[in-house]
A and B are shown apart, each in its own frame.
Chain A
Amino acid sequence: MAAMLQPQIILLKEGTDTSQGKAQVVSNINACMAVADVVRTTLGPRGMDKLIHDDKGSTTISNDGATIMKLLDIVHPAAKILVDIAKSQDAEVGDGTTTVVLLAGEFLKEAKPFIEDGAHPQNLIRSYRTACTLAINKIKELAVSIEGKSLEEKKKLLAKCASTTLSSKLIGGEKEFFASMVVDAVIAVANDDRLNLIGIKKVPGGTMRDSFLVNGVAFKKTFSYAGFEQQPKKFQNPKILLLNIELELKSEKENAEVRLSDPAQYQSIVDAEWNIIYDKLDKCVQSGAKIVLSRLAIGDLATQYFADRDIFCAGRVAEEDLQRVAAATGGAVQTSVNNVVDEVLGSCELFEEKQVGNERFNIFSGCPSGHTATIVLRGGADQFIEEAERSLHDAIMIVRRALKNSTVVPGGGAIDMEISRYLRQHARTIAGKSQLFINSYAKALEIIPRQLCDNAGFDATDVLNKLRQKHATGEGLNYGVDINTGGIADSFANFVWEPSVVKINAINAATEAACLILSVDETVKNPKSESAQGEAAASAMAGRGRSGAAFGGRGGRGMRRR
């Protein structure tokens, strides 16, 4: 009986998956390295793109680290951290997402042999943190400020930063063209630093070169009613009225009811409804506005009424477009047509409706407050334009950050080599284990120039040795990989620049992530509350770590790739 009743110790819920120990650390590292391998080849100007086909059947072509990571649908809990840092890099600086994943992967790769040899992860973590602080201080020291330059000069410098970013993207071939466009857009928005004030509109067709920048707002023609064609489509210095109401025949209030005792009154009620709408329209006209935009519908009655009076109108304008128009033209969105004073009306130099591709666009240009800009992107395929939009977003973010922090560092792997050299030098002064650890941190930083070479098809060892030699002499701290010749070149002189904040944030985030992954020695996965569903995910995770080194070598087992 006793044998029969021998109770199991059910400490945790059924289906709970736990794994612990050194093997767990190693398995987490392997998973992260596998993820880093996915994005590895996208780094740099010669990086390759990835085509991701998701379960909904839509295709994305991208070499933006954050986009790829987001679409990978990673389930491994440790590898998810890499997705998080890519996202955070995207939010904080907008570019360098591949860099941050790659660095984190490399830090872990360097740490792996130490862990396997029995070094305590906490010792590694402490050294990595020290190295990170040193590296960041060094970047700050090396950074070149662009503060205090004239606007023209600043523009030129910012364009360099933008083109460095763009050179690694699909539209790299037209980087000068787009760089200046991006800089103009950001400078236009300038002080009121809000990303959504820069609109990007995509119109398939034409070539990249047909893309243009509107110093104001542009949006696609909205749905229109009969009478729209009779409206004038071009204005010089018009006044613009922005509304948030429907200009249509409709009941005033949902829960209002009309009850009549005298049938003769019926006509008066009908008239009243017409009066209300005419009254509204009249007020719009009286305000002196030549263009009426509304977030809600503008019906056919109103359209024809406005057409008769040479007024342009557009209903159902997207909220963000309307906000942009408001910011650009200096108007304010009105929820009532009563008491429209002059100051809530916006104005611009030129309004016109223009054919772009096979779409018609409403374009407001020469806006007085100039707080907005819109980039109209042209290009062949849908995926192409999508990717171009992502690239421009990165470039815009970079320019914004450069403008805010105004320091730049040489790109092309130059700064990474220099920090690496500096850390190695520093490591020599340290007694004890952390010398090794900091050395390996320094080595991990070399991944950036090495990967640049690999992706471009150069002999990485050769180029790296040249770089090391150059940096060791103490004069060549600006030397990085020259992507055009396969040799090395002074990145600073060649205008390969990045804002320092990109590098600082990348190193910071990568170190934090690496430390976090190193510090985890146990995973406990509870069954999902909906039960059964969780099985697949649970089995994808590494099994019980305590069973030893059996799965030490199974890299990235937990990650599903699609």
Chain B
Amino acid sequence: MGFQMQPYGLQGMLKEGHRHFSGLEEAVLKNIDACQELSVITRTSLGPNGMNKMVINHLDKLFVTNDAATIVNELEVQHPAAKILVLAGKAQQEEVGDGANLTISFGGELLRNAGELIRTGLHPSEIISGYTKGINKTIEILDELVEKGSETMDVRNKDEVVLRMRAAVASKQYGQEDILCPLIADACIQVCPKNPANFNVDNVRVAKLIGGGIHDCSIVRGMVLKHDSVGSIKKMEKAKIAVFAGGVDTSATETKGTVLIQSAEQLENYAKTEEAKVEELIRAVANSGAKVIVSGAAVGEMALHFCERYKLMVLKISSKFELRRFCRTTGAVALLKLSQPNPDELGYADSVSVEEIGGVRVTIVKNEEGGNSVSTVVLRGSTDSILDDLERAIDDGVNSYKAMCRDSRIVPGAAATEIELARKLKEFSFKETGLDQYAIAKFAESFELVPKTLAENAGLTAIEIISSLYAEHASGNTKVGIDLEEGACKDASVMKVWDLYVAKFFALKYAADAACTVLRVDQIIMAKPAGGPARRDQPAGMDED
């Protein structure tokens, strides 16, 4: 970019090398274009028939996924306006854990429509006010659409959980939701605390093991550690467990010191006393009734020797988080120093065993009775990327469980809600008198994105589907959505496709907020990037079209 001309105005004020765009043409429309580009990338991944994306990030790691949050995360979006959309998606991911794609695609669609309005002469501020009215009205309508009787649910009832989780999982792993949902539901229900609002997502673990197929996935009440035990003892049943966070070894001083030996006797006894000390410690642990020792750091050879002698199974868990979860699973208290544990500091597991699954040796810690702490979904699949994608589907499922624990209301899925919102909002726009009625109408139109994309991704004709959906809705069948299997319109309650109210609520809200934020910008000033090699003049890459 050349800045050869005389600096004046803002140019004169700022340091050389900054970039600055302003006005409708330069800033607003360009921002809109950028956001649209982004939403085009994610849009084809929307819905169960969405396509996957292959993203190779800067570390050369390959992702194959249709999870929008992951895609935009790894895309390294640079454009400042598009970043706002990404942030909206991330906010959605953190708040609800699902529906990030809806946020980004819908945000992009809102902006696209705003672009059209700007070209016809509306001022961004009018669009913003229209969009704000639109989203407020949308939320009102959304409240009315909530399925009756869904306000209360039994979060321990597997059927009800699966019902609410299905759509979220199906949009990630279509055709496999019937296998995955019951697994996720079981895992979640197992660890659901007395007060469901306190459900912790972290308590449902996923262990990915290469080999086998999705039919071999299973649930373990307890934990699966992806490594072998240290010693030669590989199996222990009904065992008390002592956990030492600081490692099982002779304690060395942190301060650098030298042992002074003054006589031959001392030299001869030096090794012996050390040995005796370790033995004493291990014996103390063994006497406390523990059968399994878990170490958070290195296990000394001498210590291991005595553990074997006293028939103690030794596990090493070097991750602090993993160790904490292990403590939660077994109810053990992690001790810092190797010493005799009190009885109440010992944990318990029904069985701790090393098994080989798909060529990998894993340690399975089972805790059937006290099992309200941690459960693990063991995923099998033939490649890393499949496993990663399955894991994301599980994450979404678990997150929806968390969301439904807080708010169990549901709305019809399969684009039924969106069509209904579009229809009602359009009616509302006719009642408005100001210029913003056009913006509201466009806002309503944006909802068509969802049925359109769903139909397109499934290889159906979008126009036909949308018009017949409108027809059905106008005649009062407000729960009619797209049946992707048959390519026809069908009642969502019959298909059992339900979306969580909260997911939809936040997705629409964040998208509208992001769109308004982007629209509000009319000037971009980018300071010269600090340091680093100079930019190339002509940015290579996309967007010549």
Contact = CB atoms under 8 A, between A and B. Distances in A.
A8 B30 CA distance: 9
Given A4-B2, A92-B210, A512-B383, A519 B56 contact: no
Contacts of A119: 459
Interface residues of B, number: 89
Given A13-B76, A89-B382, A516 B57 contact: no
Chain B binding surface, main DSSP class: mixed
Interface centre among B1, B26, B60, B176, by most chain A C-beta atoms within 10 angstroms, is: B60
B54 A520 contact: yes
Contacts of A148: none
Nearest to A522: B53
Interface in A192-248: 193-195, 244
B58 A257 contact: no
A88 B386 CA distance: 12
Contacts of A522: 41, 44, 51, 53-54
B267 A11 contact: no
Nearest to B543: A9
B264 A265 contact: yes
Interface in A254-282: 255-261, 265, 268-269, 271-273, 275-276, 279
Interface string B1-45: 110010000000000000101000110001001100110010010
A333 B212 CA distance: 36
A203 B77 CA distance: 56
A333 B301 CA distance: 10
A523 B74 CA distance: 12
B133 to A, nearest CB: 30
B383 A81 contact: yes
A253 interface: yes
B345 interface: no
Interface size classification for chain A: 35 or more
A126 interface: yes
Contacts of A276: 267-268, 271
B241 to A, nearest CB: 22
Contacts of B545: 546
A7 B30 contact: yes
B120 interface: no
A366 interface: no
B471 interface: no
Nearest to B457: A122
Given A122-B174, A256-B261, A259-B261, A272 B267 contact: yes
| Most B CB within 10 A of own CB, among A93, A195, A244, A256 | A256
B262 A335 contact: no
Contacts of B41: 18, 20, 522, 524
A11 B57 contact: no
Contacts of B540: 14-15
A125 B30 CA distance: 38
Contacts of B26: 2, 5-7
B37 A88 contact: no
Contacts of B308: 332
Interface in B107-165: none
Interface stretch (A302-310, A408-416, A526-534): A526-534
A535 B384 CA distance: 25
Interface stretch (B192-200, B353-361, B368-376, B391-399): B353-361
A16 B82 CA distance: 16
B52 A520 contact: yes
B476 interface: no
A268 B275 CA distance: 23
B56 A269 contact: no
B232 A87 contact: no
Interface string B497-539: 0000000000000000000000000000000000000011001
A255 B257 contact: yes
A529 B58 contact: yes
A533 to B, nearest CB: 10
Contacts of A272: 264-265, 267-268
A84 B275 contact: no
A528 B58 contact: yes
A513 interface: yes
A536 interface: no
Given A12-B541, A509-B213, A527-B58, A84 B261 contact: no
Nearest to A121: B51
A344 B308 CA distance: 10
Given A14-B540, A516-B52, A521-B44, A84 B459 contact: no
Given A122-B174, A516-B64, A77 B56 contact: yes
A425 interface: no
B382 A12 contact: no
A525 B309 CA distance: 54
Contacts of B383: 81, 84-85, 88, 509, 512-513, 516
10 contacts: A11-B78, A84-B384, A252-B267, A257-B261, A269-B261, A505-B211, A508-B213, A512-B381, A513-B386, A516-B383
Given A11-B77, A528-B59, 8 more contacts: A5-B26, A14-B535, A16-B75, A84-B383, A92-B212, A269-B261, A269-B267, A534-B60
